[in-house]
Structure formats: structure tokens, C-alpha cells
Amino acid sequence: MNNVNFKRKDLYDLIWSTPVTSILKKYVLSYTEFKKICTQMDIPLPKAGHWEKLKAGKEIEFFELPIDYKGADEISLTLREEGDDSLKGKLSPEEVLRDEIESDPSLDIVVPDKLTKPHKLIVETKTAHFNNENRFSKNFTGYLRSPLSISATKDNYNRALRIMDTFIKAMEQRGHLFQLTNESVQVVIYGEEFSIAIREKNKRIPKPKTNSWQEYDYIPSGILVFSLRISYHNIEWADGRQPLENQVSKIIAKLEMKGAEERADTLRREKEREIRDEQNRIKKIKEEEIEQELVKFKQLKLKAERWQEACQIRAYLVDIEAKATKEQLITEDLTEWLKWAHKKVDWYDPNIEAKDPLMEGVDKVNLTFKKSSYY
């Protein structure tokens, strides 16, 4: 491996001329190790959003190299070999994506100081707020039925619009869509819809207690919050160590990661539903086949029972005739009756099914007759 030696001043110049991610890609170094070196050698780092502002030609703040430093003045860094992507293994997928977003020269994620050529959703939102100004409180500007959910005091309102405008334009550059659903805008990422909003935080101040319950006053705090609604819970970014303007890349990276996760979950659920539907279809076919088999078997069973009954009746008739013959009691009436009985057995026997005009419409299973079926 090749090493490169840096004097403290040379390392300072490198840090202020090259983004940290580019330095980490060139040298075998993690971000934690990089920060530790800068702390040990008392080298100040650019503030968040430095490179985006520089790219946009905006004013940036420089920090001089402290001269009262008395530690080591030289350090050796190891160059990465070609194809070495071990840095990605030390960064989370979200950090890698954020690095790609910040390194994309075609993407403008710097929030301007003035709103220029605003996105049509910003224009429509401002129009909705203006036309419904009588609905606002004296402190806040914002209306739930506007396309975009933006609520802030007048001092922060334009700032909120500029942040949202930058976010929307960057998201569209990344190939994502915005659509109006139920009178509010949803961002669509990989086919998944998410609600977004910017609001100004309130401070909850207890009122003097005059009742059995505590009442509060809600005072604007000046802190803006970007809110993302995902699966019944919110993810939020707020002004803090970094102003919200410098967190646009972080918001986009999180959204794209969550969009990919939600899409994967949707596809998984759809696949599971397809499998269940197919299993239910096969089950239904099987059940229908079983039902058909049962119907056929019941018919077989009924015919067997009818055949057995027909055999019993014939045996009965034979016995009657034999007894009458033995006792010489054969009469014309008995002969006619036996003839009639044999015809009826032949009609009832499933193996013969003899026609009998007088028995049309009779249910052979239950031996019932419906008059309506005859007339």
C-alpha cells in the first residue's frame, strides 16, 4: 500500500478544498478516524451545507487554522487501492445514498435566500393561504386544505416555502412524483405514497391553574420541523445543530430508503396474497371435486338401497305367490295384483327403470309426489 505524508497545514488545505466523502474514498480512513485526526491536530472542519453553498455560489464561512497548536505536525494516510470500496462497508446504506445525493452535480439541494421560480405546488399553496387568510390565527399562516401542509408564523413562513420548494424540485430531479390525493399532496416514491409537511414547533406554556385540569398556551418557537408520515408514524427533522436548510439531502435519502422498504413490503404482501389466492383457488377446486364425488356416491348409494329394496319386494311377491299356490288361493284379483306389483318394482328398480305413466312426477327416493310437477 502507498502512503502519503501530510503536514498539518497541507491536511487543513485538503479538508477545505475537498469534500470529506471524497477524502474518505481516496484514503483508507473511516469518518470516525477522520474526525479523530482533525480533533487531535486541532483542524477546524467546514460547517454542514458548506459544499452545497459553495456549488451554488453562496457566501460561506471559513475557519482559520489555529496557530497555538503544539502537537504532532505530520500524519501519514494510506491510499486506497483501485476497486477498494471498503468505505461503503463502514457507512450505512442511508449514508452511502446521502453521499451520492450530495455528490450529484446535477442536483440542486441548496435552499436559496430568496424564492425564485417557485414550483407550481408552492404557488398554489401560497394562493390557497392568501385566499383563506381569514381562517388563520393571528400567529400562524397555513391552511390544512392547501395542496401542501405548511404552517408557520409570518417570520418563518417564507423560509418554510423555500425549503419545501428546494425539496420538491430535488425530488422531481431524482425521478419522483407529487400527486394530489384527498386535497393534499403526497410524494410518490417507487409507487408508494407518503405525506409530507413543514410546521413551526410550539412551546407549551402552562396557564395559571383555575380548574381541576391544566390548561396551556401554545407559543411559536421559531423552530421548523419537516415531517414525513410512514405507516401510521412520523419521522421528523428539525432545526438544531444543523438548520433544516442543511438537511435536505438527509431527508431525501431517508425518503428513498423508506420508499424502497415500503415498496419491498408491498411486493411481498402482493406475492403472499397471490399465493393465498392460488391456494384458495386450488382448495375451492378440490372442494368442488369432493362435492361432485359425494353427489355421485350418494346417488350410487341411493340406487343400491333402491335395488336392495326392489329385491326384497320381489322376494316378498314370490313368497306370496308361492304360498297362495300351495294353498290353492290363486285368484284373478291376486293375479292382477301381482302383475301390478311387479310392474311397480320394475319402475322402482334402478337397474330397470321401467316406464310407468301413472308414476310420472313421483320422487323415487322419497316416494313423494308434487302435484305441480304433474299438471
Q: Is the pLDDT of residue 196 over 80?
A: yes
Q: Higher model confidence: residue 152 or residue 316?
A: 316
Residue closest to 122 by CA, chosen among 154, 73, 161: 161
Which of 247, 266, 285 marks a domain boundary? 266
Burial group, residue 167, by CB count within 10 angstroms (0-12, 13-18, 19+): buried
Distance CA 202, CA 304 (A): 85
259 domain-assigned? yes
Q: Are residues 133 and 221 in the same domain?
A: yes
Domain contains 196 = yes
Does residue 146 surpass a pLDDT of 90?
no
* CB 277, CB 271: distance < 8 Å: no
pLDDT of residue 93: 83
Q: Read off the pTM.
A: 0.62
- Asked if residue 155 lies in contact with residue 222, where contact means CB atoms within 8 angstroms, the answer is yes
- Sign of CA pseudo-dihedral 226, 157, 53, 185: positive
23 and 124 fall within a common domain? no
| Claim to verify: residue 355 and residue 237 sit in the same structural domain | no
| pLDDT at residue 87, as a whole number | 57
Which residues fall within 8 angstroms of residue 361, CB to CB, at 6 or more apart?
A: 369, 370, 373, 374
Max mean pLDDT range (54-58, 89-93, 132-136): 54-58
Percent of the chain with pLDDT over 70: 92
**Local structure of 30: helix, strand or coil:** coil
**CA 141 to each of CA 124, 138, 173: distance values in angstroms, whole numbers, following the listed order:** 14, 8, 29
Q: Are residues 168 and 35 in the same domain?
A: no
pLDDT of residue 86: 59
Residues 149, 248, single domain; the answer is yes
Position 100 in a domain: no
- Do the domain assignments include residue 271? no
Residue 18 belongs to what domain range? Answer: 3-91
Q: Are 219 and 134 contained in the same domain?
A: yes
Contact status, residue 108 vs residue 170, Cβ threshold 8 Å: yes
Q: In this structure, what C-alpha cell is assigned to residue 211?
A: 380548574
Same domain, 128 and 245: yes
- Within a domain: residue 291? no
Give the domain-ending residue among 210, 244, 266.
Answer: 266
Name the 3-class secondary structure at 162: helix
**Residues sharing a CB contact under 8 Å with residue 152, sequence separation 6 or more, in sequence order:** 140, 141, 142, 159, 160, 198, 199, 200, 220, 224
303 and 247, same structural domain?
Answer: no
3-state secondary structure 282-299: HHHHHHHHHHHHHHHHHH
Query: Residues 64, 190: one domain?
Result: no
Q: How far is CA 109 from CA 38, 51, 55, 150, 249, in A?
A: 27, 11, 10, 19, 7
Ranking 219-228, 268-277, 306-315 by mean pLDDT, the lowest is 219-228
One domain, residues 140 and 241 = yes
pLDDT reported for residue 305: 95
As a whole number of Å, the end-to-end CA separation of the chain is 106
Q: Do 145 and 209 fall into the same domain?
A: yes
Tell me how far apart the alpha carbons of residues 375 and 367 are, in angstroms, rounded to a whole number.
18
Letter string b/e over residues 218-231, b meaning 16 or more CB atoms within 10 A of that residue's CB: eebbebbbbebebe
17 and 86 share a domain? yes
| Radius of gyration for the alpha carbons in the chain, expressed in angstroms and rounded | 44
The reported pLDDT for the residue numbered 238 is 93
Nearest to 316 by CA among 297, 280, 342: 342
Query: Is residue 164 one of the residues assigned to a domain?
Result: yes
Gap between the Cα atoms of 20 and 15, Å rounded: 7
Q: Is residue 101 part of a domain?
A: no
Residue 257 has pLDDT above 80, yes or no: yes
In a domain, 114, yes or no: no
User: Which of the listed residues 73, 91, 109 is the one where a domain comes to its end?
Assistant: 91
Query: Strand 177-181 and strand 149-153: pairing?
Result: unpaired
Q: How many domains does the chain have?
A: 3
> Alpha-carbon torsion 99, 101, 102, 106, what sign?
positive
